[in-house]
A and B are shown apart, each in its own frame.
Chain A
Amino acid sequence: MSDPKAGFGSEEDLLAALRAGDERAFVELVDVHAAGMRRFALRFVREPAVADDVVQDAWLAMLRGLDRFEGRSSLATWLFQIVSNIAKTKAVREARTVPVSAFESEPAGDEPAVAADRFFGPDGTHPGGWLTFPLAWSERPEVKLEAAETRAVISAAIDVLPPAQRLVISLRDVEGWPATEVCNVLEISETNQRVLLHRARSKVRGALERYFEDERR
């Protein structure tokens, strides 16, 4: 999430300018956030046209709420919270909502990061140890790791994740948001955020592993 106050001394100045109806302040915010808001909306709704509507409605809701905004969160966090709320409502209509239950913490054991059969069982030589070490691919040349095919594998793996996991990994790893912003905007706990990120990254790693193993054959 970028810092929107460039050109204005501080967020307070930017807010004051907005409240006073200064169009430059609005343009500043739009140029910093509108494209990100659109991508964010597209994590909830499928149709680009619907995402455009969400973003447009969010700007209006932001402007109308300016007098009530107390600055407890950053303007950006608030803006994305508005997008999230409007997008969720529209997504229900589109039948592609991120279910609330998906944000609730589930017991960690029900979805292991790595299948249990990759490790020695309780009676094995090294209980809980790798049966065979993972195939080493993390130090492949960058050209290989960053090849279009590798990216396609990652994209495909992210696309099939459960909605809440997809949302969190998209914001953290694709968009590069810090954990605190993800928690603030999605209004989830740090633990929840970490569990969702963990499951998502573990699955994407698994997809890369399968890809590199297949390729070796």
Chain B
Amino acid sequence: MKGGEVMSDEMSCQTMVELVTAYLEDDLPASERDRFERHLTVCPGCVEYLAQMRVTARLSGQRLREDTLDPEYRHELLSVFRSWRNDPRG
């Protein structure tokens, strides 16, 4: 492979950062994914950037979101059901 060919095909870091999500979603066409991955083999900055986007997505999921339904409210919802059953057109 000649150096010139590699250069002409090379993806820039600035392009990489805009394609990261499409890459992580596996939405890139095969040829573009190949270029993306080839760039990663030569650019530690973009390797780190990709890792940061992965970590960002993962950490967002660790925000506490364990909320349970208030029993009284749950009871209200059951009343909605019962009145609908008794009179479906309400």
Contacts and interface: CB of A to CB of B under 8 A. Distances in A.
Interface residues of B, number: 46
A71 interface: no
Nearest to B84: A63
Contact of A208 (B18, B56, B78, B84): B56
Interface of B: 12-15, 17-18, 20-22, 25, 27, 43-46, 48-49, 51-57, 59-63, 65, 67-69, 73-74, 76-78, 80-82, 84-85, 88-90
A174 B90 contact: no
B71 to A, nearest CB: 12
B25 to A, nearest CB: 6
Contacts of B18: 108, 112-113, 198
Given A129-B12, A174-B63, A63 B21 contact: no
Best-buried of B49, B65, B68, B74 by chain A (most CB within 10 Å): B49
Nearest to B56: A205
B23 to A, nearest CB: 10
Contact of B45 (A31, A39, A134, A155): A134
Contact of B20 (A59, A64, A139, A198): A198
The secondary structure that dominates the A interface is: helix
B52 A175 contact: no
Given A138-B51, A151-B62, A154-B59, A26 B81 contact: yes
B81 A197 contact: no
Given A129-B12, A169-B60, A172-B57, 5 more contacts: A23-B85, A60-B84, A137-B52, A202-B53, A209-B52
